[in-house]
Structure formats: structure tokens, C-alpha cells
Copies of this chain bind each other. A is one copy, B any other.
């Protein structure tokens, strides 16, 4: 019996003892964000599967893992011998694990899922689907803690002040502003379940997570007080005094649910059902009238303020300098020293780490050579790590967390000589990227209206990419931040694109088994002009890094596009060269020459 099968056996024993017919194990923590600490990586502990998105269902006779297609190969390898099998979807209409549960569970049985690890909105979907079978959903049982010996502890990094010189607005101003909106919405409390909302509101940061500078916490904003649920010893004295002055009260993280129950009795409370766990929701919903909407801090922090925008400009220069050094090093190393995908990621981190106020990468670097680039979320493992040699296409998607901003940039470069097809593909993607970057649009426009700008040149050739075009980006916070986005999908949540919003612009093309192309810059929305037809907005491209001219087919470009590239390259050179060595300057001058 393998270690995995043994764990699975014990899990099933625990289920049997508690009369549980099936359990769901999501890859989530109690804040339901994208990154989770090791303490909550239950799936990896149980099965060895390390992909970032998965759900496991276990019954006495079945154990299956659902994940998305980018992880299928990895899952099959890593799950081997674990006793858990990969469940591939039966078709586009496949309803996933919830549908599996519907068809396979006996009526009136008990289904268990840790209510801390599933959002109330997700739980409702499952409840609705399973309703006809009258299945009892147990949210209280913790089937894992007793079994997991040597479980990594919860992260407990110290919080630190994020000075106003970086974030541009005093915490008391942000709190006051939040309260203004609370009054407008007639709510007594704003419950914050997403730590990045709390970090933004209180101007603090931490290092609980690998890619996002935050401390794990909940918060409850009331008219007089702000309750911050986190361990007292994580707040340094100076910050604690400041919190005291502003009536920000510390309460133990582990007692969040209990304390909430008592506090919110008979009041009205605003929460976001996408990041509020079912357990937190149940704790407050018995006592308070709930208003469900995206949080006020989430709406406010999406609009970057003047200081943030200026700081971001500086962070972009630092990031661009690191990237330029890196590419200079790369072009000089390739063919001379062995270079692999993983060593590239390390080297890039080294260059970024040399920049002032750098905190760490903003997500796991993707350095993908040739066919690996065709997997949109590939990240090299010891096993897959490819050596960059000979000819080929290299896709590098990376970003940094700086005190003065978060970056996210993708470049595709060529080793050796590109084929005509590679140049054509690259240029189609580039045309889309530029088209979105150059867009001018009236106030009120939503992301789904702009998406086609990045796709239409690909569509014209019967090509496409299977992900969105742009996501919002935090400020020294999550690299994926809502509510804004640019994608084909419209929903009740589709917000208008407003001045101050930061978004990625990242069309792509994946040639399965061959190579992947993606070019990504961050773009900032700003107010352009007011005419008889209303106010118009534009984007400013913030990211600064050369675009590989070797891959551009100039004949496919119109003058406005050539102009855009030449101007962009001039800006890249002018802003970055003062911080480069003479030989790096010379090289950058050369590779940013007009087309």
C-alpha cells in the first residue's frame, strides 16, 4: 500500500465513523483566493498533485480529482499510485464533480465539505444541484487535521506598514471613505474576507504567501471600530499604536466566526459571496441581514490613485531594467553556457532581486521553450525542464512585487532564426496587443466590448486563444485582482472600465506540440478628452521591455502599428538606458531601433 493509499484509507475510516457518504476536498483556504499557504495544500499532501486548481471527491468506493485541462498530463503523472484518479470531463456540457455527486450519491445521505474552504456562492450551486436528492451537507467536520502529521503551520509573518509615500492615501482616509459608502448602502458593517482588501484598507503588508504580500486575516469595518482578526504578535508596536489611535481592534484569527456571531446581531452586513466562506456566512447570516456585493475596498482599490500611478511608473522602470539585463544576459549566454527553463526563472529572479523595494515574484515564472509554450500555464518541473538550445521560441511570463507596484509581463523571443509561420503568428498576436493598447472608447465601455480588439487579427486567420485578454492587477497586492477584466464573457458583474484601472493586455496563440506565443503589457486607463459625444478614455502602456523585432513581419503591419512599436521602443530605451551598463545600453539601443 502506498503512502497515498494509506492516507486515503484513514480518510475513509474517518468518514465512516462520522456517517459521511462522500466528502469534497477543494484546493482552497478560508479566504478563497488564488494563492494558498502550504498549511491548506490538502490535495498535494493527500495525492501528490501540485496543480493550483483542483477538487477531490472521496466516497467509500471512489476517489477522483477534477482539474482543468492544462493540468491533465501533470495530474496523471502525479496521481499515480495515490489511489485517486483523474476525472476528465465527458464533454463541454460536463457539470464537473457536482454533477458526478448528483448522479452517484444515494438520496438523503450526508456529504461533507469543510465549510471554511468553500465560498457561499459555490456551496449554493452544489446545494441547488443536489436539492432533488435531499442530501445533507455537513460543513463542520474536519476530516484532515487529525490525519495530517507534520502539517505545515499557518503562516504567521509580521505585518509591516505600507507607507503613504507608496500607497498615496492614509489608512484613516480609506476607512472614512469606506464608511461613506457603507452609509450610502445602508449597511452597519462591511465584512472583509479577502486579505488583499484588508491590506489595502489598513496600509499594511506581510509575507504569508509566496506571491502576494499579505497577512492572513479577516476584518469587520463598523461605524466606530475596525476589527482585525489576526494574531496580535504579528503587528509591530508602532503599527499597533497607530491602530489603537484609529480604533482598529485586534482579535484572534481562530475565533473569527464565534466573535462575528455576537457582534453583528440585528444589524446589516455587506459581504462578497465569492470570497466569504460558507462557515463565515452561516456565522453572520443567522444574526444579521446580509447585503451581497463586491466589497467597498475592492471597488475603491481598483482605481489607482495618483501616487500609486506615479510609483507604478517607477516600479515599471525597475522591472524593465531587470528584464533588459536578463535578456542581455540570455542572448550572451545561449550557446555558451547551458541554459534551461528553470535556470532562466532563477536568473530572472536574481535580476529583479537587485532592484530597490523588491519583495518577490508576483506569481510562478513561466519560462517555456517550444512545445512547452503551447501549455498556457506551464511551469517547468525538474522532470520537464528543457534546455534552451538550437532554434526555437521561448515564452517568458513573469512579474514582481515591489513596494511601489506589482508587475506582470510576457515576452516571446526567438533563439536562432524564426520561420515565416512563427513571424506571422507573432505579428498577429502583436497586432491584437497593439490594437487594445491604442483603443479609445467612451465612458461606460465594459471589458467584454474591448476583447475583440486583441483577437480580431487572429480570428481573421481562423486562430484564437482560450483565455481572457486582460485581468486587473493590484498595487503591491494580488497580480490578479478584480473587478475589472477584458474577456468575451459578459455577466451581471461586468464593470465599466474607469480611469485609474490597471489591466493586462495579453493576446496569445498556442500551437500544440510546437510553440506558444504571448505578448503582455500592463495598461492603465486614463481620461483622454471630452467631445460633443461625451468623455473618452484611453490606455497608457505601463510595462517597459523590448518586443523581439526578429519575430515581427513588418509587411503585416499598417503605419499606425509600426509607429506604435517605434515609439514604444524609443520610450523603453529612453527610460531604461540610464540604469544600464554601457554594453547593455548599446545592445538595447540596437534591439529597439525603429522597424
Of A2-10, A118-126, A181-189, A455-463, the one with at least 4 CB within 8 A of chain B: A455-463
Q: Are B462 and A536 in contact (CB under 8 A)?
A: yes
Tell me if A451 is interfacial: C-beta within 8 Å of chain B. Answer: yes
Most buried by B among A445, A456, A536: A456
Contact of A529 among B444, B450, B462, B494 (CB under 8 A): B462
Find the B residue at minimum CB distance from A536: B462
The distance from the CB of A462 to the nearest CB of chain B, in whole angstroms, is: 4
**Contact status B451-A533, CB under 8 Å:** no
- A462 contact set on B, CB distance < 8 A: 440, 528-529, 531, 533, 536
A442 at the interface (CB under 8 A from B): yes
User: What is the CB-to-nearest-CB distance from A465 to chain B, in angstroms, rounded to a whole number?
Assistant: 8
Assuming A449-B448, A449-B452, A452-B450, is B488 touching A531 (CB within 8 A)? Answer: no
* Chain A, range 492-539, C-beta contacts under 8 Å to B: 492, 494, 512, 528-529, 531-534, 536
- B463 lies within 8 A of A531 (CB): yes
Q: Are B439 and A456 in contact (CB under 8 A)?
A: yes
Interface residues of A in 228-271 (CB under 8 A from B): none
Q: Are B534 and A464 in contact (CB under 8 A)?
A: yes
Q: Which of A308-357 contact B (CB under 8 A)?
A: none
How far, in angstroms, from A450 to B456 measured CA to CA in the complex?
10
The B-contacting residues of A in range 164-205, CB under 8 angstroms, are none
Given contacts A448-B448, A534-B464, contact A441 B453 (CB under 8 A): no
Q: Is the CB of B456 within 8 A of A442?
A: no
Q: How far is the CA of A401 from the CA of B446 in the complex (A)?
A: 37
| CB of A558 within 8 Å of the partner chain | yes
Chain B residues contacting A129 (CB-CB under 8 Å) are: none
Q: Is A490 part of the binding interface, using a Cβ–Cβ cutoff of 8 Å?
A: yes
Select which of B440, B451, B460, B532 is within 8 A of A460 by beta carbon: B440
Residues of B within 8 A of A536 (CB): 459, 462
Tell me which residues across on chain B come within 8 A of A533, comparing CB atoms: 462-464
Q: Which residue of B lies closest to A441 (CB)?
A: B459
Q: What distance in Å separates the Cβ of A411 from its nearest Cβ neighbour in chain B?
A: 23
Which A residues, 106 to 133, have Cβ-Cβ distances below 8 Å to chain B? none
**Per-residue contact bits, chain A 545-570, to B (CB 8 Å; 1 contact, 0 not):** 00000000000001000000000000
User: Is the CB–CB distance between B488 and A459 below 8 Å?
Assistant: no
- B442–A464 CB distance below 8 A: yes
With CB as the reference atom, state the residue of chain B lying closest to A463. Answer: B533
Interface size on A, residues (CB 8 A): 32
Q: Distance (Å) between the CB of A182 and the closest chain B CB?
A: 21
A529 to B462, CA, bound (A): 8
Q: Which partner residue on chain B sits nearest A462 by CB separation?
A: B531
Whether A459 contacts B446 in the complex (CB less than 8 A), given A452-B453, A534-B464, comes out as no
Given contacts A442-B464, A464-B534, is CB(A490)–CB(B448) below 8 Å? yes
Name the contact of A488 in the complex, choosing from B449, B453, B460 (C-beta under 8 A): B449
Q: Which residues of B have CB within 8 Å of A494?
A: 490
Q: How far is the CA of A533 from the CA of B467 in the complex (A)?
A: 13
Query: B452, B490, B558: which contacts A452 (Cβ < 8 A)?
Result: B452
Closest B-chain residue to A460, C-beta based? B440
For A528, list chain B residues within 8 Å (CB): 462
Contact A446 B534 (CB under 8 A): no
Question: Chain B residue with minimal CB distance to A494?
Answer: B490
Instruction: Say which residue of B450, B459, B529 sits within 8 Å of A442 (CB atoms).
Output: B459
Q: Nearest chain-B residue to A533 (Cβ)?
A: B464
A440 to B490, CA, bound (A): 20
| Beta-carbon contact of A490 and B488 below 8 Å | no
Identity of the chain B residue whose Cβ is nearest the Cβ of A458 in the assembled complex: B533
B-chain residues with CB within 8 Å of residue A442 when the two chains form the complex: 459, 464
CB distance from A339 to the nearest CB of B (A): 30
Bound form: Cα–Cα A460–B531 in Å: 12
Determine the chain B residues whose CB is within 8 A of the CB of A529 once the complex forms.
Answer: 462
In the complex, what residues of B have CB within 8 A of residue A446's CB? Answer: 488, 490
Q: Which residues of chain B are within 8 angstroms of A453 by Cβ–Cβ distance?
A: 452, 456
| Chain B positions within 8 Å of A531 at CB level | 462-463
Residue of B nearest to A528 (CB): B462
Residues in chain B near residue A532, CB distance under 8 A: 512
In whole angstroms, how far apart are the Cα atoms of A441 and B441 in the complex? 22
Interface hub of A439, A446, A453, A462 (most chain B Cβ within 10 A): A462
A463 CB contacts on chain B under 8 angstroms: 531, 533
**Which of A459, A529, A534, A536: most chain B Cβ within 10 A?**
A459
Closest chain B CB from A186 CB (angstroms): 14
In angstroms, Cα B448 to Cα A451, docked, is 10
Given A452-B450, A459-B536, A531-B463; A488-B440 close (CB under 8 Å): no
> For the complex, what is the distance from the CA of A448 to the CA of B406, rounded to whole Å?
31
Q: Which residue of B lies closest to A511 (CB)?
A: B532
Min CB–CB distance A495 → chain B (angstroms): 12
Nearest chain B CB to A490's CB is how many angstroms away? 3
Write 25 A-B pairs (CB below 8 A) sorted by A numbering: A439-B456, A440-B459, A440-B460, A440-B462, A441-B452, A442-B464, A444-B488, A445-B488, A446-B488, A446-B490, A448-B448, A448-B449, A449-B449, A449-B451, A453-B456, A462-B531, A462-B536, A463-B531, A463-B533, A464-B533, A464-B534, A490-B490, A492-B492, A512-B532, A558-B558
- 7 closest Cβ pairs, A-B complex: A490-B490, A462-B531, A464-B533, A440-B460, A462-B536, A449-B452, A440-B459
- Known A-B contacts: A449-B451, A462-B536. Give 8 more (CB < 8 A): A439-B456, A440-B462, A446-B488, A448-B448, A452-B453, A462-B531, A462-B533, A464-B534
